[in-house]
A and B are shown apart, each in its own frame.
Chain A
Amino acid sequence: MPSLVIDRVTKHYGGFRAIEDVSLSVERGEFIVMVGPSGCGKSTLLRVIAGLEAITAGKVTINDRDVTALEPADRGVAMVFQNYALYPHMNVAQNMGFGLKMSGRPRAEVEAAVRRAAEILRITDYLAKRPKELSGGQKQRVAIGRAITRAPEVFLFDEPLSNLDAALRSQMRVELSRLHKELHATMVYVTHDQTEAMTMADRIVVLNAGVIEQIGSPLDLYNRPGNLFVAGFLGSPRMNFFRARVETVADGAIEVAPVGLHERIRLPLRGGSVAAGAEVMLGVRPEAFQEEAPNGIQVTATVKVVESLGRETLLYADAGTFATTASESQEGYIAVHRASQQAVAYGATIRLAIDPRDIFVFDPKGPTLRYPERQLAAD
């Protein structure tokens, strides 16, 4: 039985369509991460589930209970906010127990629930402190503890880690994954950070302009993005996109001429249809560039930026007319990922080889026409 069902939910603010006809079913114990650019409606959708926003049309069901018209407190949800939203005038224990107290639960029960949550999060030492005496990470733990205290059917997280510094963020990511496993809780998590999405999610929901672009497991979305938007959104640095024109269509394969290259590439399609003369977008992940590719395309490029990350290296290289579009670099540089340290300096010339089997093909306005034949992991 699904724990949470969002059924054809629409939310308009006056003329602005924040969410348009969105449906989503979340299984019990699932960790769902909603990602998308700013203003895509992901936070609004979370607030809709919480009951903080009334919806224009549709239905929200939690454990088979229609909660569409219910107040937030009656829905069986708990929410963790980006800026913690702890009550400054209450100490940690009061903050965590406030919800149960307002629901008229006996004091002993409230105290027991607070203690249990504090033990899970290892914050029993702070119970008597005020929020302002805590660090950012401790505050976020308390905010999560407040959610656990209420023993909700669905946990909602609204970018909970974005106010923390990088080190603390990865620590809390691990912590949240542990909590999810320990509590067997249904969690819906909103973030703009794709690392969080990739690492924590059972399934990722990619939202754009108020509609769901694609739902799937992290690797599924990474390897088989349903369209150009999803392909560009997941992965850092972004996928390199190159404009190309379809020259011929024959035997389920197309021959394309990339803009800025003399070569033509023959690519078998996997479903989808396209006509000769159509504009398509080729996609190549930064890690797909090789130094040699027997049957591939070779380009020579000048290194413009080197980002040495220790165990890996990111290069941004200028291949002249063979330039990327709407990718990581505004200047049309090609983003290249090398899994090792590289002795390359600014201005150096490097050879980039692309194996045709690694190329994505996108209809700029429609679904993906072709995924690479090779995937790094079988999923």
Chain B
Amino acid sequence: MSKLFRFRVLTTAMYGFVIVYSLFVLLPMLWMVFAAFKTKREIFIDPLGMPDSLTFVAFGRSWAIGLGAFLFNSAVVTVLSVLLIVLVSGMAAYVLARSDYPWMRWVYLLVVVCFAVPVHSVLVPLFQMISAAGMLNNRLAIALPYAAYGIPFTTVLLYAFFLDFPRELEDAARLDNCNRLQTFLRVILPLSGPALASASIFQAVFIWNEFLLALLMLTRPALKTVPVGIFELTSEFTSDWPAVMAGLSIAIMPIVFIFFFAQKYFVRSLAGLGK
């Protein structure tokens, strides 16, 4: 077998795998969108088929339960959490990447260890803390835990980025009369756009889709986020599946939209994680 032939076989096999995997991920989404156009009857009679007619009735029913408000709530919580994460992680990562103190290594390790704590294991104490603080049914009740869970990952991501940040630029800034904070704000932040963008997108996707904490902490209908809000369409005895699918189709749109335009940053930053 020639080298070229082997290379072609390998390439074909890899493409085949990627195509199959993509279908595995995309088909359920496609099914979701099709299901959103079906009637309640149709969805049970012919679950896998194409919808008979292009009707937006399910979208209407879904919107009627207050999807607009849920979207707004999700947006507020997401923006708030992401801002908090980026601000705190950015400064923490910069200090970790630049400090000469040996014990900063340990701080860094501690941050990495925070990955290892699954949210489910701290759910009960977290609920008690938030409840004791009187913060249930407050947007901060989920924004703060989201930030707490997002900060370690983002710190590590930005740490790798800042390690590679040319120190000469910081030296030049010091000679140009910048103090540490000015150097960070005027030189480092403006040049960290791609890293900050990818970190933000990553966290935004997670926060936008988060269900469990939002379900526990926010019980007032006016505060519910999209995943929890749509969940209202299901109940023990009857579930309006077309409306659920319509709601989810709407819910994923902002994220798909952001992904579509920013996937370049997203991939690049993850590629830099191995440092």
Q: Which residues of A contact B (CB under 8 A)?
A: 47, 50-52, 71-73, 77-79, 81-83, 85-89, 98-99, 102-103
**B191, A79: Cβ atoms closer than 8 Å:** no
Q: How far is the CB of B185 from chain A (nearest CB, A)?
A: 12
CB proximity to A under 8 Å, residues B8-30: none
Residues of the A chain whose Cβ atoms lie less than 8 Å from the Cβ of B171:
47, 50, 52, 72, 79, 81, 85
A85 touches B169 (CB 8 A): yes
Known A85-B166, A102-B182; judge A71-B174 contact (CB<8 A): yes
Contact status B175-A79, CB under 8 Å:
yes
Contact residues in A for B173 (Cβ distance below 8 Å): 87
Asked if B168 contacts A73 (CB within 8 A), the reply is no
Q: CB within 8 Å of A: which residues of B? A: 166, 168-169, 171-178, 182, 187, 190-191
Assembled-state Cα–Cα distance A99/B182 (Å): 12
Chain A nearest CB from B196 CB (Å) reads: 13
| CB-defined contacts of A86 to chain B, threshold 8 Å | 172
Please classify the interface of chain B as helix (H, G, I), strand (E, B), loop, or mixed, using the class held by over half of its residues. helix
Q: Which residues of A contact B187 (CB under 8 A)?
A: 87
Cβ-defined contact, B174 with A83, below 8 A = no
The answer to whether residues A83 and B166 also contact, given A89-B190, A89-B191, A102-B182 and a CB cut-off of 8 A, is yes
Q: Which of A51, A81, A103 contacts B172 (CB 8 A)?
A: A81
- Tally of contacts, chain A with chain B, CB under 8 A: 50
Chain A residues with CB below 8 A from B191, complex form: 87-89
Give which listed residue, B175, B182, B190, contacts A78 with CB less than 8 A. B175
Nearest-neighbor residue (CB-CB) of B169 within chain A: A85
- In the complex, chain B residues whose CB is within 8 Å of the CB of A79: 171-172, 175
Chain A residue at minimal CB-CB distance from B182: A102
Contact B168 A102 (CB under 8 A): no
| Interchain CB contact under 8 A, B177 and A103 | yes
Given A52-B174, A81-B168, A87-B169, 6 further pairs, Cβ under 8 A: A50-B175, A79-B172, A85-B168, A87-B191, A98-B176, A103-B177
Considering residues B169, B177, B190, which has the most beta carbons from chain A within 10 angstroms of its beta carbon?
A: B177
Instruction: Write out the residue numbers on chain A whose beta carbons fall within 8 Å of the beta carbon of B176.
Output: 73, 98-99, 102
With both chains docked as a complex, state the minimum distance between the C-beta of A323 and any C-beta of chain B, in angstroms: 44
Chain B residues contacting A81 (CB-CB under 8 Å) are 168, 171-172
Contact between chains at A87 and B172 (CB < 8 Å): yes
User: Considering the chains assembled together, what is the distance between the CA atoms of A52 and B178 in angstroms?
Assistant: 13
Query: Of all chain A residues, which has the CB nearest B175?
Result: A72
Contact residues in B for A85 (Cβ distance below 8 Å): 166, 168-169, 171-172
Q: A89-B190, A89-B191 are in contact. Are A72 and B168 (CB under 8 A)?
A: no
**In the complex, how many angstroms separate the beta carbon of B176 from the nearest chain A beta carbon?**
4
A to B CB contacts below 8 Å, 9 in the list: A71-B174, A79-B171, A79-B172, A81-B172, A82-B168, A85-B169, A85-B171, A87-B173, A88-B191
State whether A102 and B178 are in contact (beta carbons under 8 Å apart), knowing that A87-B187, A89-B191 are contacts in the complex: yes
User: How far does the Cβ of B237 sit from chain A's closest Cβ, in whole Å?
Assistant: 60
Least CB distance from B162 to A in Å reads 16
What is the CB-to-nearest-CB distance from A317 to chain B, in angstroms, rounded to a whole number?
44
A77 contact set on B, CB distance < 8 A: 175
